[in-house]
Structure 1
Amino acid sequence: MSKGDGRSGFKWLLLFSALLLPLLLYLGSWQLDRAAHKEVLHKAWHDDSVVVTSLSQLTDLSDTSLLQARFEGTLVQDTWLLLDNRTRDGQAGYELVGLLQSPSGVDLMPVNLGWLKASSDRTQLPRIDLPRLPDTFSGRVRRIQPAFTLADDLWSAGWPLRVQTLDTERLQLRLQRPVLPWVLEVAEPVDKNLTTDWPLATLKPQRHLGYAVQWFAMAAALVILLICYGRNALCKGADE
């Protein structure tokens, strides 16, 4: 290889590195941010120092609160939402959501009762028969965050209502009652057909740390390759 070819190859490597290295560093930093965020959620999930017992307390909580809660009340009869596209162990299903009304208030709050398996026929919704519901619901409460959907979330006219996301504003229009932008994920299933293995309960911040190490390792390897190639090109240039 001539001296000119070596310099030309080194310039192309420099250009390639200038484009790829910032991307690798960004991905590593992004994984570190995700690990830090999940560490906060993990600690909040296992923090039992605060227990919310009244719907009125929710107005004083921050947007990122994830707290233990225990509410008394009843679920609005025959008013169910089925959160679509929820999978467990590779099986398609729904998360069943009811609307809690407290004995002394008019506000409603979504209560996620757990996951249930979907029928292979998408036109058939699962039959919801929960004859014995408790009058106290315990679990973790968190604010409902806006969610991205690939298509319009079309709602049917009747119940149960199959939805892609929990949209409290649309629920308020449908029910003509205030719906709080919070959801309670119950700790224990109220029926044997429901599963309450919430993803937040098994967060693994270490996984994102591992990904970050991989991206930073790739960035370091690229820098070492660049240094070695540059030194080799300089040595060949000096020999010629």
Structure 2
Amino acid sequence: MAMKLSAFGHRWVLRWRWVLAVLAVAAVPAGLSAWQWQRGAEKEATLARIAQWEREGAVGLARLAELAAAAVRPPMASVDGVQLDFAARWIAPMVWLVDNRIVDRQPGYDVVIAVEDIADVRAAGSSGAAPRAALVNLGWIAAEGGRDALPVPAIPPRLRVQGIFRTDVTGLLLGANVEDHGHWPIRIQQPDPAQLAAWLAVPLAPGLIQQQQASPFHIHYRPVVLPPERHRGYALQWGLIALAVIGVALAASARRLPTESGEIAHEQS
């Protein structure tokens, strides 16, 4: 079964197997183009959400919980990007080291601790309610020696938390997340609040605060690594590749007719 097309002095014989093969090849870059465009839209939405929370002003842990409880959308999605600024107390001795963090081509760890809002602790003490806690990524520390020699970061007992609250902090995990050898610090693969809450006796916010300033460690976090414009550029490139695959296939199958014709004829055989 084949379809014959004639137009502008050329004829194409399109066999269905050949058409399906070309479309299958073109579908790969076309799919990548759509994915990159979607990623650009997601990054743009993330930046817009963070900018909106910046205009709202920074809050503490108590206000963060109120915003999550009052949101129409699911709490974890609604408070993503909230700006936080509060005096905090480190819940010692808890320190988690997030593995496989490369900064300036040097391996190391992100230092994650659990903190309480001091104002929240005081209010809870007077009311009898349990204070809230949150995980804070203070930044990066270089690895020391081999895999068995974990760095021991010096954590101040009190610090100022100034950062961005992110709810999407977990990804694809291969193997166990936590390497618990019975002492601190503990090496982890990703800061999963649901899992790390087992070490705490108080409620834990369902996300991670990325410290943005005033940290004893190297702050390298950026909400968006590749800007939306870069993703759209990649989407355009992959889209052009998909069109090129189809165009090359058509050019390779074209045959010049002995007489010119401006009509397109369809013939099934």
What is the aligned partner in structure 1 of residue 83 from structure 2?
68
The within-5 A match list for 1:150-169 is 150-156=174-180, 157-169=182-194
1:97 is matched with which residue: 88, 96, 112? Answer: 112
What is the aligned partner in structure 1 of residue 198 from structure 2?
173
Segment drifting more, 9-18 vs 95-104:
9-18
Change (3 A) 1:145 1:132: closer
Q: Which runs of 5+ in 2 are unaligned?
A: 1-11, 69-74, 125-130, 259-269
Change (3 A) 1:186 1:146: closer
1:27 is matched with which residue: 24, 32, 37? Answer: 32
Greater length-normalized contact order (CA 8 Å, ≥ 6 residues apart)? 2
Aligned residues: 228
CA-based RMSD: 2.6
Q: Which structure has the bigger radius of gyration?
A: 2
The within-5 A match list for 1:1-240 is 13-47=18-52, 48-59=54-65, 60-61=67-68, 62-64=75-77, 65-103=80-118, 104=121, 105=124, 106-131=131-156, 133-134=158-159, 136-156=160-180, 157-191=182-216, 194-200=217-223, 202-232=225-255, 235=257
Is the Cα–Cα contact under 8 Å of residues 21 and 219 in structure 1 kept in the other structure? Answer: yes
Is the Cα–Cα contact under 8 Å of residues 83 and 163 in structure 1 kept in the other structure? Answer: yes
Measure how far apart 1:132 and its partner are.
7.0
Distance 2:104 2:29 in 1: 32
Matched position secondary structure for 1:124: coil
Distance 1:225 1:167 in 2: 48
What is the aligned partner in structure 1 of residue 5 from structure 2?
none
Change (3 A) 1:197 1:33: same
CA deviation profile, 1:171-198 (whole Å, cap 9, x unmatched): 222233322112111111421xx11121
Is the Cα–Cα contact under 8 Å of residues 110 and 183 in structure 1 kept in the other structure? Answer: yes
Matched position secondary structure for 1:173: helix
CA deviation profile, 1:89-127 (whole Å, cap 9, x unmatched): 221111101111123342210011001111231101112
Q: Which runs of 5+ in 1 are unaligned?
A: 1-6
CA deviation profile, 1:62-110 (whole Å, cap 9, x unmatched): 4332122112221112211111111112211111011111233422100
What amino acid is the match of 1:15? Answer: L
Identity %: 24
Matched position secondary structure for 1:185: strand
